[in-house]
Amino acid sequence: MRRKFLIISLIIVAVLLVCGAGVYTYTYLKKNSSTQAKDEQGYVIKEGKVYYRTTMDVSDGADGYHTIVNDQELKGVNAKTFTMLDPYWAKDVANLYYMGQTVVAQKDTAPIDLSTFSLIQGVNGIGRDTHFVYLASPNQDGWVYKIVAKADPATFAFVEGGHYAKDKKNLYYLDLPFDIKKIEGADGPSFVVLGQCAAVEVSRAYYGWDAKSVIAGDKVLQGIDRDSFRIVASYDNGADGMYVAGSYAVDKNHVYKNCGEIVPTGNPKTCSSNNLKACE
């Protein structure tokens, strides 16, 4: 079994070498040490050169794991000015990098001031310099960055939970990984997350409000009485083991579900977690 595994592993290494993706070493780790190998993924500086390291762990079916380590050299990187921002993001005097790839400016986008650039939320490709907030995202040619329009870099910050960000004037919604948009009509400084309004597996949407309006997901809800609005109960619509949930909310006039949808037959006066029939 182990001999067969070793042969397969050596074939994988040979294929990677032929493809020219980087310089490889082959390491044997004892049982339960795969986490240790994964922790090593990221940027490595060796002998004045910068590499991006990836690892692949495979169980040998007996007493441990084998790990293939790929150290891919980043050509043209200035090792003396190279700075790791997190395991995936880095910069030098000339460029921004994500997972070993150079992130370039989108057409008509001003270049980043790399001397002052820092990450705000690396997992979604959001950072800032002294002039702008930037969003990096993938396209067919690699990775590009653009300016988040009207965002103030000095005050831009994520709201607890990570689905919203705000600055001194505006509110923003993180729609998908590597996508953020301004919520028109919302007031950033006064915005507060109230609670969950819908969920499908790991995806979540939330109710929130600012000084004047109720917000669900990326929209300002129209016709809701903000002062009497509150979340009163949750419900589970899951089937076949799938997690699908939502919340009932009320104001003085209506019951709401599905992030702002009016329930025509709901009773806002009696709808509660102890009386879900009144919510339906």
pLDDT tens for the chain, residues 1 to 280: 444 444 444 444 444 444 444 444 444 444 455 444 445 689 999 999 999 998 887 776 666 677 788 889 999 999 999 999 999 999 999 999 999 999 999 999 999 999 999 999 998 899 999 999 999 999 888 999 999 999 999 999 999 777 999 999 999 999 777 889 999 999 999 999 999 999 888 788 999 999 999 999 999 999 999 999 999 999 887 666 678 889 999 999 999 999 999 999 999 999 999 999 999 9
Main-chain dihedrals φ then ψ at residue 277, nearest 5 degrees: -60, -30
Separation CA 82–CA 144 (nearest Å): 19
25 within a domain of the structure (yes/no): yes
How much is the pLDDT for 21?
44
| 11 within domain boundaries | yes
In a domain, 164, yes or no: no
Q: Is residue 260 in a domain?
A: yes
Alpha-helical runs (H) found in 210-254: none
CA 73 from centroid of its chain's CA atoms = 26
Residue 105 counted as domain residue = no
Domain range for 23: 2-73
Domain boundary among 37, 53, 73: 73
What is the value of pTM for the model shown? 0.80
Residue ranges of alpha helices (H) inside 59-188 are: none
Q: Assess if residue 126 is contained within a domain.
A: no
For residue 50, what are its two tokens?
């910068």
3-state DSSP call for residue 151? coil
Q: Which of 86, 130, 85, 90 is nearest to 112 (CA)?
A: 130
pLDDT, tens digit, 9 for 90 and up, residues 96-110: 999 999 999 999 999
CB-based contact 35:53 (threshold 8 Å): no
3-class SS at 34? helix
Helix, strand, or coil (residue 133):
strand
Listed residues 73, 95, 113: the one ending a domain: 73
142-147 vs 101-105, strand pairing mode:
parallel
Q: Give the residue among 176, 219, 170 at the shortest CA–CA distance from 190.
A: 170
Q: Among candidates 187, 193, 150, 157, which has minimal Cα distance to 171?
A: 187
> Residue 140 falls within a domain, yes or no?
no
- Structure tokens that stand for 15 in this block: 């294929």
Q: Which of 21, 54, 73 is the last residue of a domain?
A: 73
In a domain, 254, yes or no: yes
In terms of Cβ atoms closer than 10 Å to its own Cβ (0-12, 13-18, 19+), residue 14 is exposed
What's the number of domains the chain is made of?
2
